[in-house]
Amino acid sequence: MRLHRTTPQRTAPSLILLHADVVRESQDAVRRAPAIEVGGKFVGFVIDPAEAVSNPDGLVGQYSAWISSRRPTAGVALVILGSIPSGPKARATATSLIPDTGFQLASFRELEGRFPEIEHLGSWHSHHPNGLGSFSAGDHAHYSSAVADPNFNLDFFLAGLCFDQRGLSSGIFALYRRESPDVPVQIGPREVFVVDGLASLAAPIRETSASRVSDQPGDTPVVAAVAAELQRRLGSWADRLVEDDAVSWIYRGWGKGNLDIVITHGSASPESAGMSLRRRGGGIDLSCDAAGPIRDLARLVRAIDSAAAISAQISSHRSGGTRGGEK
């Protein structure tokens, strides 16, 4: 993913670490999109025990220390700490996935500014909508040409494939090498060591993705009116979440302050939006499709208010309530 080679040729890795956040992202992505292929670009670090670590407190330093204490005989390690989503303009069907490469490259560049040693290590996708039990001929052609491309920064490329909601925890992997791009090395799931409890790149990738999507919540007349009403009553949105297939805006503090309202636009149908009302600590109390039956803003706001009132009653009952009056 770079235009110029900046690191020396590397020997193939003998240890592959996969952060549990990436496994969870693959599981969530499959769950959210049952009918289309999902995937992402693997990013992380190549850690060579023969090279000095410039910053022991940085991410590379933390993983170097982890490897030298747990796997002291390991050679070069490939440490996958994040997955850059396919992006808002990705095109996906039940049998194909064409990522938004502009989005992925811009995200990578921004991450590189924060983590100079970051590398594009490979990619993963899912065959859950089509049941194809191995990499397709098209997948194979794509990966072998990716690793053979002189602009690709490494001499190897890890491809991951998953099949169901277990995501990459039960997936298969293949390592493509520049020295023989057509002959991938098959790697079983047990040869990929899942690490948890150390930092990952999940949060920086989410922040980067959010900064790349400038859409506003109200892109249809109904949602624009709802967003204006939310802004009037709650102020501007507090959080924006960008996922593979949807963007959500979260407004906090409806009702007696314990309810959040989430507006979601799916990239598969950007002309419609969903809304949900969530009580802090769990439970979705109301959700609707803004392109669906609720077209009247006043009715919608009344519905939210009554759901908020019911929700407040339920939580006051649960917490022992206001027996004997307030105070």
Which residues of this protein are in contact with Zn ion, per CB under 5 A?
A: 136, 139
Q: How far is CA 219 from the centre of its chain?
A: 23
Q: What is the DSSP letter of 139?
A: H
From the CB of 222, what's the least distance to Zn ion, in Å?
38
- Neighbour count for residue 142 (Cβ, 10 Å): 15
Of the pair 127, 279, the CB lying nearest Zn ion is at 127
How many Å apart are CA 114 and CA 167, to the nearest integer? Answer: 28
User: Which C-beta is closer to Zn ion: that of 123 or that of 200?
Assistant: 123
Which is closer to Zn ion, CB of 19 or CB of 128?
128
Cα separation values, 296 from 82, 218, 231, 310, Å: 42, 15, 18, 21
Taking the CA of residue 58 as centre, how many other CA atoms within 13 Å lie in the half-sphere pointing to its CB?
Answer: 13
> Which burial class, exposed, middle or buried, applies to 185 when counting CB atoms under 10 A from its CB (0-12, 13-18, 19+)?
middle
| Residues forming a β-bridge with 172 | 161
Looking at the Cβ atoms of 147 and 300, the one nearer to Zn ion is 147
Helical spans, DSSP H, in the chain: 20-32, 59-70, 101-114, 137-148, 202-212, 221-234, 297-318
Choose between 27 and 315: whose C-beta lies nearer to Zn ion: 27
Least gap, CB of 127 to Zn ion (angstroms)? 6
Cβ-proximal residue to Zn ion, closest one = 139
CB of 135 to Zn ion, least distance (A): 6
Closest C-alpha to 41, from 61, 53, 60, 25 = 25
* Beta carbon nearer to Zn ion, 27 or 208: 27
Beta carbons of 45 and 199 less than 8 angstroms apart = no
One-letter amino acid identity for 134? S
Question: Smallest distance, Å, CB 99 to Zn ion?
Answer: 12
Minimum CB distance to Zn ion smaller for 136 or for 258: 136
CB of 155 to Zn ion, least distance (A): 23
